[in-house]
Chains A and B, each alone.
Chain A
């Protein structure tokens, strides 16, 4: 059975190319694609909790394709596939008006596969890979309408923020792996005592939290999420409310048992979460675009979840799980409703949408049910979530209770503006009367909204099987909380009534409140989004300046800079490392050898000093042939002959080419350039000389030449040891060399043909 676990992400991954090709051929099949997540949903239900699967990948590092299904990953996987089925069905009709629908559905499938891989992974490295894959899919989906500059910017921003966070997280994961001695999550959690005292733990907490905060849009990294609303609506509903943005929350919850006793962990999570809640609530009230309004409320929800994980109170785990589920249900539903309104009424402006209920009754019902769950009306599962939330949040000392009250009132306003206001009041004017969409687009928002009511009326459906295992995974032990039990004390109950009242009053006053908030432009000008823009501009200014200095386009500069760096660095190392030395027992050269060296040196100097190019070529030839004769006197006959023939062919080729070039052209360097180049060249020569002397001062181990000299005849049947080395001892090397020669000849032939063609 357990192999099915690994099959789930694999199946989804394998489906990606099939989706792309199949839908390109038959776009009408798109809604039927919902069967894929539905099937996976069924497979997950089949699997028992605690199922594991492992395939070694890099055993030396203890990294493997480990997958594990526990309460938390089950909840996430069911949300991904369940809501996924609805989204796929919805997109099948919604996206038909977009070009390249097949590509959209393929990337959506890729995203689902990556999400499933990330939540089922039991290995931190595998989790990280899938995690980044979701960022990549998100990038492609936000930027799906690539012709729009806003979409491109939002896609880039989302990618930059989440991937930089991911980079920090990777560092955290590597530290965590080395501290715990394993990358397997279940083992890390089982041996969490090690982490309680480990010196790395504070670093791990900060780095991992950075990655999770970026992914889950915590302040001040939240700006990418509202901007991501540039994506088509199904993407906003699926990635940017129900699933992907919960991945950061998921990992925080997953690792919570290991870190929950650390004050740093609690402080970071509650601090960032509270700030995020507050920011999101204010900006949600200010916004009039339906989707962005919902996005700000998602930011609030993510802040709430992070805060809950950071709280020590055991009830907080259950509260987090229930709220996560509730939020996924109502928010996905509301996003889809916003998409329907956008498509049918032609606008997403909350101030303009009015009186649509009469003509869109089913859409209105879906919206109202979802909004009631969001506002925490009795009978809905949202009520239980709110009950748990208040009980936990109000029990904490400090500012959190006050923030929680205000934020929850603000959420009531959002629910009202998004789901109540557009359907009542005086009908808006429009060119064509809006009406309910077909089944495929209504099925998902209606089902999700109704589920909120069903679970609210019969909490036993999910209490034992879904909520408790997930909450126990966050806490690290059973919670002992049964869903549906009344948690709240009386004071909490009255406070929640106050919040509801406050929210309703604010909702009624919203049309007057919104313009005032919108007038506060400093929120845009000094917010994190503006800061992001400034950072990006700064980076391009700095890199432009650096590039202009370093990449000058001058070959002379490149060579000079490389030489100075290379030989200057060598000199520093040589002097600092005390490597300078002279060869000991250096045999004196024979007179003719000394004369030869003098001749070659004279040739080299002449090659530099002469003005005429042809004379310089001849001087270089003197150097080449002189070195050849020198080889001969050193007992290297093969080398000498090779050098002679190569020099001859090189000079013939050079003269043949130069005959077609401006032969009389002089060295165009100015006098001071000559001086500077000369100084660099002489300096490099001196360093080269000293380096070679230092090398020669080290004693030499003759084992290798001794062995080669002794083995050449008996083993390789050759008396010319040089040749034996070339064709036998190092034959593979030689094969590589002749391959290089062939490639050089090929390249030259192609180059010649192209130059001729002109």
Chain B
């Protein structure tokens, strides 16, 4: 695939900027606009840009794991987030729990799961069409 020099050179930085931005959006999502869905999509956009510039092979190398595997891990996180309520506190599955008065709780794990599923899902569709 022929791409411009500018895209090629900036791809790495755009990718990491997007990933950082997406993580920021993910984490602030509980109080400000944002969250797992949007975060995952922004992250996916970064990887898509990277793939457009350097080809899907390079992007897959950055990802390490298959997009589907990332999505699977995400779903696992989502399920794990629901287990403490069920196993430890005798409450219904997915009743979210917090560490004392802190804002850190199972919701963070759950939203991270959503983030990974959305990221992996979008890339599983797009990356195959970015190969040469």
A354 to B62, CA, bound (A): 91
B41 x A649 contact (CB < 8 A): yes
A720 x B34 contact (CB < 8 A): yes
B71 x A724 contact (CB < 8 A): no
- Min Cβ gap A375→B in Å is 74
Give the interface size class of chain B.
35 or more
Q: Which residues of B contact A641 (CB under 8 A)?
A: 25, 33-34, 38
Which of B35, B52, B82 has a CB less than 8 Å from the CB of A638? B35
Q: Which residue on A lies nearest to B107, using beta carbons?
A: A727
Flag the segment in A121-129, A327-335, A735-743 that touches B: A735-743
Q: Which of B1-41 contact A (CB under 8 A)?
A: 25, 29-38, 41
- Min Cβ gap A566→B in Å is 29
Flag the segment in A27-35, A500-508, A650-658 that touches B: A650-658
Q: Which residue on B lies nearest to A719, using beta carbons?
A: B31
Q: Which residues of A contact B68 (CB under 8 A)?
A: 742, 745-746, 749
Q: Which residues of A contact B78 (CB under 8 A)?
A: 734-735, 738
Per-position binary interface string of chain B over residues 88-131, scored 1 when its CB falls under 8 Å from any chain A CB and 0 otherwise: 00000110101000010101001101100110111011101110
- Min Cβ gap B128→A in Å is 5
Q: Which residue on A lies nearest to B74, using beta carbons?
A: A738
State whether the Cβ of B55 lies closer than 8 Å to any Cβ in chain A.
Answer: no
Q: Which residues of B contact A343 (CB under 8 A)?
A: none
Give the interface size class of chain A.
35 or more
Q: Which residues of A contact B130 (CB under 8 A)?
A: 656
State whether the Cβ of B53 lies closer than 8 Å to any Cβ in chain A.
Answer: no
B67 x A745 contact (CB < 8 A): yes
A638 to B42, CA, bound (A): 13
B121 x A745 contact (CB < 8 A): yes
Q: Which residues of A contact B41 (CB under 8 A)?
A: 642, 645-646, 649
A716 to B35, CA, bound (A): 15
Given known contacts A637-B33, A723-B35, A749-B124, A657 and B129 CB-to-CB distance under 8 angstroms: yes
Per-position binary interface string of chain A over residues 681-724, scored 1 when its CB falls under 8 Å from any chain B CB and 0 otherwise: 00000000000000000000000000000000000111110111
Q: Which residue on B lies nearest to A638, using beta carbons?
A: B33
B30 x A719 contact (CB < 8 A): yes
Q: Which residue on B lies nearest to A659, using beta carbons?
A: B129
A657 to B110, CA, bound (A): 33
A726 x B37 contact (CB < 8 A): yes
Q: Which residues of A contact B37 (CB under 8 A)?
A: 638, 642, 726
State whether the Cβ of A732 lies closer than 8 Å to any Cβ in chain B.
Answer: yes
Q: Which residues of A contact B82 (CB under 8 A)?
A: 731-732, 735
State whether the Cβ of A462 lies closer than 8 Å to any Cβ in chain B.
Answer: no
State whether the Cβ of A602 lies closer than 8 Å to any Cβ in chain B.
Answer: no
Q: Which residue on B lies nearest to A744, using beta carbons?
A: B121
A742 x B30 contact (CB < 8 A): no
Q: Which residues of B contact A741 (CB under 8 A)?
A: 71, 117-118, 121
State whether the Cβ of A752 lies closer than 8 Å to any Cβ in chain B.
Answer: yes
- Min Cβ gap A751→B in Å is 10
State whether the Cβ of A633 lies closer than 8 Å to any Cβ in chain B.
Answer: no
State whether the Cβ of B58 lies closer than 8 Å to any Cβ in chain A.
Answer: no
Which of A649, A723, A724 has a CB less than 8 Å from the CB of B44? A649
A732 x B94 contact (CB < 8 A): yes
B34 x A723 contact (CB < 8 A): yes
A720 to B34, CA, bound (A): 8
Which of B38, B48, B93, B117 has a CB less than 8 Å from the CB of A732? B93
A690 to B45, CA, bound (A): 38
Q: Which residues of B contact A638 (CB under 8 A)?
A: 33-35, 37-38
State whether the Cβ of B79 lies closer than 8 Å to any Cβ in chain A.
Answer: yes
Q: Which of A605-640 contact B (CB under 8 A)?
A: 637-638
State whether the Cβ of A51 lies closer than 8 Å to any Cβ in chain B.
Answer: no
State whether the Cβ of A289 lies closer than 8 Å to any Cβ in chain B.
Answer: no
The listed residue with most B CB atoms (<10 A of its CB), out of A717, A718, A727, is A727
- Min Cβ gap B93→A in Å is 7
B42 x A645 contact (CB < 8 A): yes
Q: Which residues of A contact B107 (CB under 8 A)?
A: 716-718, 727-728
A648 x B45 contact (CB < 8 A): yes
The listed residue with most A CB atoms (<10 A of its CB), out of B29, B37, B103, is B37
Q: Which residues of B contact A735 (CB under 8 A)?
A: 75, 78-79, 82, 94
State whether the Cβ of B84 lies closer than 8 Å to any Cβ in chain A.
Answer: no
B129 x A656 contact (CB < 8 A): yes
B120 x A652 contact (CB < 8 A): no
A732 to B98, CA, bound (A): 18
A722 to B36, CA, bound (A): 12
A206 to B128, CA, bound (A): 66
A649 to B42, CA, bound (A): 10
State whether the Cβ of A748 lies closer than 8 Å to any Cβ in chain B.
Answer: yes
A642 to B52, CA, bound (A): 21
B31 x A742 contact (CB < 8 A): no
Q: Which of A332-351 contact B (CB under 8 A)?
A: none
Q: Which residue on B lies nearest to A648, using beta carbons?
A: B45
- Min Cβ gap A232→B in Å is 54
Q: Which residues of A contact B75 (CB under 8 A)?
A: 735, 738-739, 742
A652 x B48 contact (CB < 8 A): yes
A98 to B2, CA, bound (A): 71
A748 x B124 contact (CB < 8 A): yes
A758 to B17, CA, bound (A): 39
Given known contacts A652-B126, A731-B94, A720 and B118 CB-to-CB distance under 8 angstroms: no
Per-position binary interface string of chain B over residues 55-76, scored 1 when its CB falls under 8 Å from any chain A CB and 0 otherwise: 0000000000001100110110
A720 to B26, CA, bound (A): 12
Which of A649, A720, A749 has a CB less than 8 Å from the CB of B31? A720
Which of A648, A727, A732, A745 has a CB less than 8 Å from the CB of B125? A745
Which of B29, B45, B93 has a CB less than 8 Å from the CB of A720? B29
A727 x B36 contact (CB < 8 A): yes
B125 x A748 contact (CB < 8 A): yes
B129 x A723 contact (CB < 8 A): no
Q: Which residues of A contact B129 (CB under 8 A)?
A: 653, 656-657, 660
A716 to B96, CA, bound (A): 8
A649 to B111, CA, bound (A): 21
Q: Which residues of A contact B122 (CB under 8 A)?
A: 649
A717 x B114 contact (CB < 8 A): no
Q: Which residue on A lies nearest to B32, using beta carbons?
A: A720
A653 x B125 contact (CB < 8 A): yes
The listed residue with most B CB atoms (<10 A of its CB), out of A645, A722, A728, A746, is A645
Which of A657, A717, A742 has a CB less than 8 Å from the CB of B103? A717
Which of A637, A716, A722, A734 has a CB less than 8 Å from the CB of B114? A734
- Min Cβ gap A641→B in Å is 5
- Min Cβ gap A645→B in Å is 4
A652 to B127, CA, bound (A): 11
Q: Which residue on B lies nearest to A755, using beta carbons?
A: B128
Q: Which residue on A lies nearest to B71, using beta carbons?
A: A742
Q: Which residue on A lies nearest to B31, using beta carbons?
A: A719
A738 to B118, CA, bound (A): 7
B38 x A720 contact (CB < 8 A): no
B32 x A717 contact (CB < 8 A): no
A719 x B32 contact (CB < 8 A): yes
Q: Which 6 residue pairs are nearest across A and B when measured between Cβ atoms? A: A645-B41, A745-B124, A656-B129, A637-B33, A719-B31, A738-B117
13 extra interface residue pairs, beta carbon distance < 8 Å, beyond A645-B45, A719-B30, A752-B128: A638-B37, A641-B34, A649-B44, A652-B48, A656-B129, A720-B35, A723-B30, A723-B34, A735-B78, A738-B113, A742-B72, A748-B125, A749-B128
**Residue contacts A-B, CB under 8 angstroms, 29 given:** A641-B38, A642-B37, A645-B41, A645-B44, A649-B122, A652-B48, A652-B126, A657-B129, A717-B30, A717-B103, A720-B31, A720-B33, A720-B35, A723-B30, A726-B36, A731-B82, A735-B94, A738-B113, A738-B117, A739-B75, A741-B121, A742-B68, A742-B71, A742-B74, A742-B117, A745-B68, A745-B121, A749-B68, A749-B124
